Chain A
Amino acid sequence: MIGVFICFCGNNIGGYVHVPELTEYFNKKEGVIAFDTMFLCSEIGQNLIKEKIEELNLDSVVIASCSPKHHGGIFQACIGEKMNQFKWEFANIREQCAWVTPNKEEATEKAKAIINGAIEKAKLLTDIGTTKVSVTKDVLIIGGGIAGMHASLELSDKGFHVNMVEKKETIGGNMVRFDRIFPTDDCAMCTGSPLLADVAMNPLIDIFSLSEVTEVKGRAGEYIATVVKKPRYVDETKCTACGECTTHCPVEVWSEWDLEMGLRAAIYKPMAQAVPLKNRIERDSCIRCGTCENVCKAGAIMYDDEPREFKLTVGAIVVATGYDLVDLSNTEYHLEHPNVITGLQLERLKVPSGPTEGEILRPSDGKKPKHLLFVQCAGSRDRRHNVYCSKICCMYATKNARLIKAENPEMDITLCYIDMRTAGRGYEEFFDTAREMGIKYLRGNVSEIVPDGEDLIVRVEDTFANEPKAIKADLVVLSTGLIPSQGTRDMGTIIHLVSGADNFLAPVHVKIAPVDTANKGIYIAGTSESPKPIQECITDAGMVASRIATFLKDPEIEIELVTSKINPEVCIKCGTCADNCVYDAIETTGEFYKVLDVSCQSCGKCSVTCPTGAIDLSLYTEDQITRQIDGILASDRDSIIAFSCYQCGYNAADLAGTAKAKISPKIKVIRVPCSGRVTMQHMLYPFYKGAKGVFLAACLEGQCHYIDGNLQAKEKVALAKKSLDIMGVGGHKLNLFNMSSAEGPKFVAAAKRMVEICQ
């Protein structure tokens, strides 16, 4: 007996689908008993499920409600109290049915098909066990900015050993380059340097500067990260940072640390508070004259220094790789003009220890500007650059304008904005006083900055006065939009983290799980997730530390064995599965081939490549998927089956629902862990059963959560298309679409395209 539990979800499902009709319909089905309730996730709903499992001795359960991405965990735990926690299947009738189907009759029919598919699959569900594996208590923090530093201190306070890997020559990130921080106008270094010192002195934190993570393998609780430390050409154990080398180095180039507002030698340390406090030779500008070696009394210069690769074994990973600024050179903003600078460059001018000792002097001739103009939303909220709001610019521009105005009351300061976004503790008051100080706020989006010799003409429409204006300024500061740093983008690919359309790393749930990723034991903090002010980075860091402390609290963690299994009676030991497994999860040395449960990541690619069908993935077995297809098509023969990868395509389909996009009721999603799990049999079988079309919603190429599953799927789809052509069905009715988990509209477009093709 299979118990079907259908949720009204208030009006969310009940308003779009005839829930009582569904209950009645499934109660008539043999071997099925159906119940409905207002909120299945509530205590009442959960008690109902538990009671009925016990009372009716149910074999398995179908939950027809919201997306499993939403409350899947709740139902699994609830069912797990009474029977094996995997003996249930869900039917997503909210995001993927109720919310995308305007017609109530059609939505009800679609829900029937979805639930029917789930029932057929549920009939084949078996018990899946768990096992305990040991965890390493060490933590890897990638990125030594404010989020990384704070997380490392929190974790070391809790007794964890932390490895901090920083790409730059010093930790500290962007924050320690600022002059002051809003809304308190504290000196950034005064707040940052105690943190730097704490991290540097902490015996539980190992800092690897000039280092990058190049590979992450292993499993939650025991990740193995490969780190490459680039040569510093200075022996960190000997250098005392006395600075004698820098004084004598004949080379002079623009300093990256000062964002080309100041100069540095080829051997240098970026700032007096650098951690580690060691000099570094930057080899691209070094001319090998040997002077530093001659003057270094410590004998620290190592011209023959080489990159060093090593491995770190850690239980959990924090990705805190931060942001960069969008490059606005050669755009309408003319950042290439010396007197158009970014907000970050302005910070370097304002820092008392910076190249101009805190004076605002423009780069073309060192003039102190009379007319200073801030351009808000430069590269943000603009379809030509980034559509999103960079969140911090209204406040940091206001902060700088206030500080400059306070020191130079005679300076004319204008700030052009679309609208001021000053939500936060003390923010609006901060903005109010800026206006009282005489800073001019002009509401209008700057359309163009026109160079006029050394000065600039800023074209903007004053939307209060309703007139276009051309304002002359002698220094323009762009409140430049934030983009994920190269490191953030690299980590997305290397660790196979999900990122959004904006390329920032995406949490499991932006509201209720903001620092968790889909990879257990890997967390994100700070601006690698999205643009945010310092205090939010610190909040993230604290939460990450708490999440990791919870995750690593026991010497062992329980892992669910949703893994592949090999049937030794059918296995011919050809090794194809092992060749295709990127996690080295198949042991081929013993008498029989075996799957290493702790290494298996449950992608199911092995099942697709196995020539004899000996290896199959639990919870997504060959037969379970086939029966699900049967169930759906038995209910609605004209369906278009959408195999959606649970990392990307499935999420995109959910997002389309959240956005209340319209999707044809013919589209029926079947969840697969990876598009690489879909066999050719799965692609062809629906046509045999009368389906109108089949498509795969896979991750973007290069972003497969399982590295290359989507590429394998691409090959299989190409082959299956040929077969369909030969059979006269038409290969065009089978397609693969790549989309990220954030691209709801792409799923909608794919669905629409399929409906057009298959009519």
Chain B
Amino acid sequence: MAEEEKFEPNIIAFTCNWCSYAGADLAGTSRIQYAPNMRLIRVMCSGRVEPTFMIEALQNGADGVCILGCHFGDCHYISGNYETKRRMDLMKDLFKDLGLDENRLMIEWVSASEGERFAQVVNDFTDKIRELGPLPEEYQQKLKLLKGAIEGSRLRIVLGSTKRAFEEGEIEEERYVQAMHDIAKEEIERMKIMEAVDKNKSMTVPEISEATGIDKLRLWRHILSLTQKLVLETAGEKDNYMIYQRRD
């Protein structure tokens, strides 16, 4: 118990220039005291925060990451906070899917006049992360998969097109979010597949299934896609199965 109490988390907070960063300043000029664990990174808009930033923070020593932006309707850039909220929702979903604690991520709205609220939000999140303890070492493996997936062009395209898709008004938000989620899951699985294939140089479908835990029927769809996209290629046959390797 004594040792746990000593744990002081490292937290990265992305704050938007127009609201929450000014809120932090107001907390300061008002001499409001709050936990010192949080390191602020100023961005012009909360919409600037890419999911990769959050993962990189966790990969490099942060125990929790939060985004602080303007309240809905107040965004200086009209809709940046909506965009970042959608991405955060997806990240939290993917954290859950991967068995990571989504409470290590947080998104909150703090206006320029809410100095007191800023201190409160910081203190609450610090307490929560302190309670959760240091980021477990086994997170790193999964964070790597996640980073690979969200850096891939497929997921970047859908993540980057939310505003356009909804503004055209031809697709329901629910359907788009579902598609985004499905694609993200697929991409994470493909990261797993490629990781396994790279490690073993070449593998058959049952071997990949065993290494990744992906059901063979679902795996076959991935193989069809990865060969079609020229990521994988066949390299002979083993026990009536084709052997797949990365295509250079």
Tell whether A and B belong to one assembly.
Answer: yes
Give A residues with C-beta under 8 Å from B: 248, 250-252, 262-263, 287-291, 303, 338, 355-357, 359, 361, 363-370, 454
How far, in angstroms, from A477 to B168 measured CA to CA in the complex? 45
Contact (A363, B154) CB under 8 Å given A288-B171, A289-B161, A368-B237: no
Interface residue ranges of B131-187 to A (CB < 8 Å): 153-155, 157-158, 161, 164-165, 168, 170-171, 175-176, 179, 183, 186
Contact residues in A for B200 (Cβ distance below 8 Å): none
Quick one: closest A residue to B179, CB to CB? A287
A287 touches B175 (CB 8 A): yes
Contact residues in B for A248 (Cβ distance below 8 Å): 153, 157
Given contacts A263-B228, A290-B168, A355-B228, 5 further A-B contacts (CB under 8 A): A250-B155, A250-B183, A359-B234, A365-B206, A367-B241
Contact residues in A for B72 (Cβ distance below 8 Å): none
Interface size class of B (residues with CB under 8 A): 20 to 34
Quick one: closest A residue to B209, CB to CB? A365
Partner of B170, one of A262, A303, A361, A369: A303
Number of A-B residue pairs, CB cutoff 8 Å, is 80
Interface residue ranges of B81-106 to A (CB < 8 Å): none
How far, in angstroms, from A454 to B209 measured CA to CA in the complex? 15
- In the complex, B242 has a CB within 8 A of chain A: yes
Partner of A250, one of B158, B224, B228: B158
Quick one: closest B residue to A474, CB to CB? B240
A263 touches B221 (CB 8 A): yes
A365 touches B217 (CB 8 A): yes
How far, in angstroms, from A359 to B243 measured CA to CA in the complex? 13
A-B contact pairs, 21 of them (CB 8 A): A250-B155, A250-B158, A252-B225, A263-B224, A263-B228, A287-B158, A287-B171, A287-B176, A288-B164, A288-B165, A288-B170, A288-B171, A289-B161, A289-B164, A290-B165, A356-B224, A359-B242, A363-B217, A364-B217, A365-B206, A365-B241
How far, in angstroms, from A740 to B183 measured CA to CA in the complex? 51
Partner of B220, one of A250, A252, A366: A366
Contact residues in B for A288 (Cβ distance below 8 Å): 161, 164-165, 168, 170-171, 176
A289 touches B153 (CB 8 A): no
B216 touches A365 (CB 8 A): yes
Contact residues in B for A263 (Cβ distance below 8 Å): 221, 224-225, 228
Contact residues in A for B196 (Cβ distance below 8 Å): none
Partner of A252, one of B170, B186, B216, B234: B186
- In the complex, B211 has a CB within 8 A of chain A: no
Contact residues in A for B225 (Cβ distance below 8 Å): 252, 263
- In the complex, B223 has a CB within 8 A of chain A: yes
- In the complex, B219 has a CB within 8 A of chain A: yes
Q: Nearest-CB distance from B65 to chain A (Å)?
A: 26
Contact residues in B for A355 (Cβ distance below 8 Å): 224, 228
B220 touches A364 (CB 8 A): yes
Q: Nearest-CB distance from A516 to chain B (Å)?
A: 46
Quick one: closest A residue to B152, CB to CB? A250
Q: Nearest-CB distance from B104 to chain A (Å)?
A: 27
Q: Nearest-CB distance from A348 to chain B (Å)?
A: 12
How far, in angstroms, from A289 to B216 measured CA to CA in the complex? 30
- In the complex, B121 has a CB within 8 A of chain A: no
Quick one: closest A residue to B186, CB to CB? A252
B240 touches A367 (CB 8 A): yes
Contact residues in B for A367 (Cβ distance below 8 Å): 205, 240-241
A368 touches B242 (CB 8 A): yes
How far, in angstroms, from A359 to B157 measured CA to CA in the complex? 33
How far, in angstroms, from A355 to B229 measured CA to CA in the complex? 11
How far, in angstroms, from A25 to B24 measured CA to CA in the complex? 119
How far, in angstroms, from A252 to B175 measured CA to CA in the complex? 15
Q: Name the 10 nearest CB pairs between A and B, nearest first.
A: A289-B161, A365-B216, A366-B205, A288-B165, A250-B154, A288-B171, A250-B157, A290-B164, A368-B240, A287-B179
